Chain A
Amino acid sequence: MAAPTRMLAAVAFLGVLLAACGGGTTADPTEPAAGAASAPAPDAGTEAAAVEGERRILIAESGGVSFSRLPAFVTRDRLNAEGWDIDHVAFAGEDLEVEAVSSGQAHLGRLQALDALRIIELGGDIVNLGADRPDEFVAIGRADIEDCSGLAGQRLAIQSEGSTYTTIFDYWLRENCGVEAFERLVISGGENRVIALLNGEIDGTNVQMADFVTLDQQAPGEFQIFANFAQEIEGLVGGMVLANRTWLEENRELATQYMAELFRDLHEANTDPSALREAAEAHMNEADVESFDAVYEVYQEQLGGWPECGLLDEPTVESVIGLFEELGMIDPGLTPEQVVDFAVLEDARAATDTC
C-alpha cells in the first residue's frame, strides 16, 4: 500500500476511534445509579435516611484536592461509612470532567460559574444543584507595587484564556485599576504560578486564597492581595455542584439526600474544623496540612466560610447570568430555571435544620 494511503488509513482509524469514543474522559465507564429512591428526606441532625435502592454516586473532579473542596471529601467519607457508595473520579481537566457529567458517565461534578453557564448554553445535559465553595480567588502581586494601577505593563499570569477567573481578572484590571495593557502569560496550575511569582518570573496573578496563604508563609511580606474578588465583584458565586440532568430526573431523592448531607458538612466546616482537618490529613500533602489553621482562619474571616445552604436563589442566579452577559462571555437568553434545579435545592435545604 502506498505511503499516502497508509497515512490516510491511519488518520481514518484515529478519526473513527475518537468519534466512537464519543468523549474525552479518562474515567472507567460506570452505569448510572439504578432506580430512584422513594423514602422522604431525613429529619435534621439524624443519620442519613434509608434511601431505598442503590445509594451510588459517581462524582467527577478536576484540579486536585484543594482546601475549599475538603467538605465534599468529608461528606463522601462519612456517607460511605454509613453504607453509601460515593466515588470521586479525577480528570486531567475541567473539560473532561464536564464531558463525563454531561454524557452521564459521572453523575455529579464541580465547576466555576462561567464554565457551568457556558456548558448549559452549548446544550450540555447538566444543571446546577447549589454552590458548595466560597468565591475564593484573589488577585495578588509583588508587595512593592503600590496599587493595582501599578500592574499596567507588568507580567501577569492567568490560568487559561477562557476560564471564569481569567475573565474576572481581566474585568477587574480594566474597571477597577484602569489597566488595559500588560504582558499576559498562561500558566496552568496555581502552584506553578506561585513558583513563577517566587522566582520573579511574573509580577502578579490570580490564585485561590489558600495558595496565597501558603505563599505568604514562604515569603512573608513579599507579596500582597490586590483584590478579593468575593468582595469586589458583585454577582459572583464560587464553585457549584452540577448534576447530569438525565440521571437527576431518575434519582431526585438521592440527589436531594446527598445535597442535604453536604449542607450539613458545610455547616460543620464553618463551626468546627476538626473533621475538615482529618480530611486534610488524609487527602492533602504535608505542607498544606501545616498551613491548615492559617488557611482556615483566612477562609472564615475574609471569605465568609463555606456557603452552608447552597447560596443560590433566583435573584443571585440572575445576577450571575447578567454579569457574564455584560462581559460578553455568554449570549443573552439563559434563565435561572435553565441553570439551577431549584426544586432539589429547596428540598435539600428543607431537610437540614441549619438552613
Chain B
Amino acid sequence: MDSRSAAARRLRVERLWGLVLPLAVLLIVGTAWQLLAARSRSLIIPTFLETVTGFYELLFVRGEIWGALWLSNQSFLIGFAISAVFGLATGLALARSPKLDAYVDPYVNMWLAVPTAPLIPLIIMALGIGLWSRVAVVVIFALVYVTVNTRAGVRAVDRSLIEMARSFGASEAEVWRRVLLPGAAPAILAGLRLGMARAIDGMIVAELLLVAVGIGNLLLRHRSLFEGGLMFATVGVVVAEASILITLMRTLERRLTPWVAHS
C-alpha cells in the first residue's frame, strides 16, 4: 500500500511539474523578453506583450490569418505531395542502383546547397507567378531531403537479411516488401518529416521572394508598416502549424514502426 501511494504521489508531483514548469519558463522568458525589447527601443523587435496582443488581434479581431493560411497551404500541400512521391521513388531507385547513384549523387549534393533567391527570376520566367511557381519552390526545398533520407534508409538495411531472403527464394518484389521497406521505414518516415518542415519553409520563402500571397503577404505588410507584434504573431502561427504537423507525423511514425524505440 505504501509503495502504491508513494507511486501515486510521485505521479501527481510529476504532473504538477509538467504544468508548473512550462508556465514558469514562459513567465521568465516573457519577462526577460519584455524588459530587453522595451530597453532596446527597436523599431522591428516587438515586446512580449506586443506579440501577445498581436496574436489576439490576428486570430480574433482581424481574422485575415485564416484566409492567408488556406492560400499558403495550397502550395505546401501540393508541393509536399509531389516531393513525397518523387522523393521516395528517386531515393529507392538510387539506393538499389549504385550506377545510377554514382551519376546522380553530385547533383543531389548541389541541390542540398543551392540558395533559392537567385533562382526566383528563373522560376518566374519558366512558370509565371501563379500557384505552380510557388509549388516549384516548395519542391526545391523538400524533395531532396526525402530523397536523401530514403536512399540512406534503404542502404542501411542489413545486407545479410537481403541475402537470407534471396536464399529462401524471395523475388525482388518480396525482398522490397518484406525486408527493404520495413527496414528502411524509420529513415523514410524521418525523411518525410524533415521534408515536411522544409516544405513549410519553402512555402514561406516563395511568398516572401516570389509573389506575396497568404502568410508571406501578411509578413511583408506587417514588416513594411513596422507592426512588429503582428509580424511575430504571424510567424508564431506558422510555427504552431509546423509543430502540429510534425507532431502528427511523429504519431504516424510510431504507429507504422512500433518496433522502433521512439523518444
Contacts and interface: CB of A to CB of B under 8 A. Distances in A.
A binds B: yes
B33 A123 contact: no
B226 A192 contact: no
Interface stretch (B3-11, B91-99, B168-176, B215-223): B215-223
A95 B44 contact: yes
Interface string A13-40: 0011011111110000000000000000
A119 B41 CA distance: 12
Output the residue of B40, B211, B224 with the most chain A CB within 10 A: B224
A124 B124 CA distance: 37
Interface of B: 18, 21-22, 25-26, 28-30, 32-33, 36-37, 39-45, 48, 120-121, 124-125, 128-130, 208-213, 217, 220-221, 223-226, 243
Interface string A157-168: 000111100000
B125 A22 contact: no
B125 A98 contact: no
A8 B26 contact: yes
B234 to A, nearest CB: 13
B206 to A, nearest CB: 12
Interface in A77-135: 93-96, 98-99, 102-103, 118-119, 122-125
A196 B124 contact: yes
B40 A23 contact: yes
Given A19-B32, A161-B225, A119 B26 contact: no
B33 A15 contact: yes
B230 to A, nearest CB: 12
The A contact surface, by secondary structure, is helix
A192 B212 contact: no
A185 B18 contact: no
B221 A22 contact: no
A161 B209 CA distance: 14
A45 B32 CA distance: 54
Interface in A209-247: none
A196 B129 contact: yes
B125 A195 contact: yes
B220 A201 contact: no
Nearest to A195: B124
Nearest to A329: B225
Contact of A192 (B36, B40, B121): B121
A122 B43 contact: yes
Given A21-B45, A23-B40, A124-B43, A8 B129 contact: no
Contacts of A7: 243
A19 B44 contact: no
A19 B211 contact: no
Contact of A186 (B28, B30, B217): B217
A21 B39 CA distance: 11
A16 B32 contact: yes
A244 B125 CA distance: 41
A5 interface: yes
A91 B23 CA distance: 37
Contact of A99 (B43, B48, B128): B43
A347 interface: no
Given A103-B42, A185-B212, A186-B211, 20 more contacts: A4-B22, A8-B26, A11-B29, A15-B29, A16-B32, A16-B36, A19-B33, A20-B36, A22-B36, A24-B45, A95-B44, A103-B41, A118-B225, A118-B226, A119-B226, A163-B224, A195-B125, A199-B124, A199-B128, A202-B129
A202 B211 CA distance: 12
A16 B33 CA distance: 6
A161 B217 contact: yes
Nearest to A22: B40
A338 interface: no
B99 to A, nearest CB: 40
B24 to A, nearest CB: 10
Contacts of B213: 186
A287 interface: no
Given A19-B45, A118-B226, A185 B129 contact: yes
Contacts of B226: 95, 118-119, 122
A98 B44 CA distance: 9
A103 B37 CA distance: 13
Given A8-B22, A8-B26, A96-B44, A160 B221 contact: yes
A161 B39 CA distance: 29
A302 B26 CA distance: 58
A201 B43 contact: no
